[in-house]
Structure 1
Amino acid sequence: MPEAPPPGGSEDEAVRDAGARLSAAVGDPATAVRQRRRRRSDSWLWRALAAPGSLWLLAFLVAPMYVVLAILFGTIDPILRRPIPVWNPLDWDSSQFTYVLTRLVGQDAIFQPALVRTAVYVGVASVLCLLIAYPVAYYAARIADRRRGLLLAALIAPFWISYMMRMLAWVNLLQNDGLVNKVITLGGVWDTQVDWLNGHSAVVIMGLVYGYVPYMILPLYAGLDRIPDSLLEAGRDLGASRFQTWRRVTWRMSLPAVITAIILTCLPMLGDYFTSDLLSGNPKTSMVGNLINAAVLTPGQTGQAAAFVLLVLLVSLVPMAIYVRVAREGEGLRS
């Protein structure tokens, strides 16, 4: 009986496929031209897909930042005390930016305490958020199973409520006749009431942690959920304990997600002023965001607010650079 043709097609088709592979291997000019055309078309396709996002960033990030720079290096109306932006960089005046810089260090460093306080508050709050968020995200991604959907809904629920309303709830709890003082005094048995809302740094940090910990849980969950189970099983098969598997595999694979979560948490914290105003209202706990808000509301100081915004942006570039480096290392681990 004659031999049956191959399942993928006839013998002629198999010969043509082999010839195409051979010509590609030896560098057939026609094949090379087709590949270049395909890469060129793919390049234009990806550029077209990236165009809406690029236009969005140009309109709502680059353009507003240029407005901030025009106000920072602009002038002030001597009568109405309103900022006059200068759009030509050749005519920019750096006097307002120099004024802020000279008051960050030295004897006239009136802005230095708020900057140092912001760094301490944001650093401590970020560490506490990570200690709270990582176990929760790990449980939701690796252990929860059928309860995962319910847990994720509970984690997203705080976003349905206004941040101001959540902070006002803490104000009601921490005021002098609030629930916290009632618990401490055992309903009035002990006269140990604490004025929580009068300049306590711990209260401001607690408010930052409560307000921004959901921003850290969700990126951590996304990063932990993408770790293949086969890697964890391989670590256990090679004799590693649960802690060793977590330290050598899970933690290293989730490090890009950790850096992303910290950045997403730190950046809004750096400009936060609402938490300190509501939970303290005391200059002893003011942050950079409070300086920006006060400068915007004070006639003639809008340029100082723009200077603080520029300083916050420059500081924010450091964690962004760290994230890019860690993300590249993470891609090397997954490849």
Structure 2
Amino acid sequence: MTGVEEHGTPEPGTAGPGALDRAPKKRRGANREGLWGVFAFPGIAWTVVFFAVPFYAIACVAFGSTDPLFGEPVPSWSPLHWQFATFHEVLVRSTGGDLTAVFIRTLVYVGAALALCTLVGYPVAYYVARLAGRHRGLLLGLILAPWWINYLTRMMAWLALLQDEGYINRALQATGLIGTPVQWLSGNPYTVIVALAYGYLPFYIVPLFATLDQIDPRLLEASRDLGMGTASTFWRVTLPLSRTGLLSASVITALPMLGDYYTNTLVSGSPETTMIGNQIDLYLLGGPQKHLGAALVLVLSLLLMILMAYYLRTSRRDTQETS
């Protein structure tokens, strides 16, 4: 007998019955990988040119030297000649110097804005995902409508609302709640927090809506059949199942908030509400200490990478638990 023995076992050196079928599949798989590699090349090239190269340039400035005559930074393009004195100075000032208050203020503002986004965004996302019915498309369009308008334009609209003779103060004075106009735009931290929450609220609602929309309605029905009321079903079923969406929404919203500087500049512009993004903008564009600004960029990027690593680890663990 050649090729296959009596018990169906291929003889040494001969191909089995499925070998001819497996070979074309492998070739097709290799062709697909090559095709998708071609499609991915423009995105990879875009990332390298517009992210990796500028980030490397920032690192070269941070670890470079300073011209003694003009005070301008001298980038060190070779990692072998990098100097870490400036970066160490920023780390020392960030952990026990004058930048500590700025970092703490930034974290407090971002945390308060995230809490406000949760209070406003979770009910909206829940209603649109579970209760909106045939009006879901319209409500989603209204939620995404702010993205059709430039962010700076939307923030500048707040100036007309919050200035001393603006509509907010007029309404509060008309109702007798205040006697004199509130200076919302003169270093008021509450204005910065509300403006941050307003600007990034759509980023919070959309991923949370996607998670809530994927919850199997049969789980909620089973909870009610077991005698749990609406509130108990929400706390014990809906909220735990939406934890991944809450984490995704928080990360997607917090990352740009931590580096935001134009919101604070527009609605406050006071040193008392300075965030870390304002310090980076000041050092890089408004002063001679550009190497300090570049080092701050690296410190902030390190913080953001830690948050992203925590998000990816938690998301992977939740996915493994649910699968």
How do 1:1-335 and structure 2 match up within 5 A?
Answer: 29-31=16-18, 34-35=21-22, 38=25, 41-42=28-29, 45-46=32-33, 48-49=35-36, 51-52=40-41, 53-106=43-96, 109-186=97-174, 191-335=179-323
CA distance in 1, matches of 2:120, 2:177: 33
Question: Which residue in 1 is equivalent to 2:5?
Answer: none
CA 1:331/1:103 → structure 2, altered by over 3 Å: closer, same or farther? Answer: closer
TM-score between both structures, scaled by the size of structure 1: 0.83
Question: What amino acid sits opposite 2:306 in the alignment?
Answer: V
CA 1:88/1:265 → structure 2, altered by over 3 Å: closer, same or farther? Answer: same
CA-CA distance at 1:32 after TM superposition: 6.5
CA contact (8 A) 1:82 1:299 kept: no
CA 1:48/1:117 → structure 2, altered by over 3 Å: closer, same or farther? Answer: farther
Cα displacement string for residues 31-77 of structure 1 (whole angstroms, at most 9, x for unaligned residues): 36854873575366346525334444333332222121111111223
CA distance in 2, matches of 1:43, 1:140: 43
TM-score between both structures, scaled by the size of structure 2: 0.86
Question: Which residue in 2 is equivalent to 1:11?
Answer: none
CA distance in 1, matches of 2:153, 2:182: 23
CA contact (8 A) 1:182 1:188 kept: no
CA 1:31/1:190 → structure 2, altered by over 3 Å: closer, same or farther? Answer: closer
CA contact (8 A) 1:253 1:330 kept: no
Q: How many residues align?
A: 308
Q: Which runs of 4+ in 1 moved over 4 A?
A: 32-37, 187-190
CA 1:253/1:41 → structure 2, altered by over 3 Å: closer, same or farther? Answer: farther
- What secondary structure is seen at the aligned counterpart in 1 of 2:164? coil
Cα displacement string for residues 300-323 of structure 1 (whole angstroms, at most 9, x for unaligned residues): 311111111111111112321222
- What secondary structure is seen at the aligned counterpart in 2 of 1:290? helix
CA distance in 1, matches of 2:233, 2:91: 48
Identity %: 41
Q: Any unmatched runs of 5+ in structure 2?
A: 1-7, 10-14
Question: What amino acid sits opposite 1:77 in the alignment?
Answer: D
CA 1:304/1:240 → structure 2, altered by over 3 Å: closer, same or farther? Answer: same
CA distance in 1, matches of 2:22, 2:225: 44
Mean Cα displacement is larger for which, 255-264 or 298-307?
A: 298-307
RMSD between superposed Cα atoms in Å: 2.5
CA 1:239/1:112 → structure 2, altered by over 3 Å: closer, same or farther? Answer: same
CA-CA distance at 1:123 after TM superposition: 0.8
Question: What amino acid sits opposite 2:243 in the alignment?
Answer: L
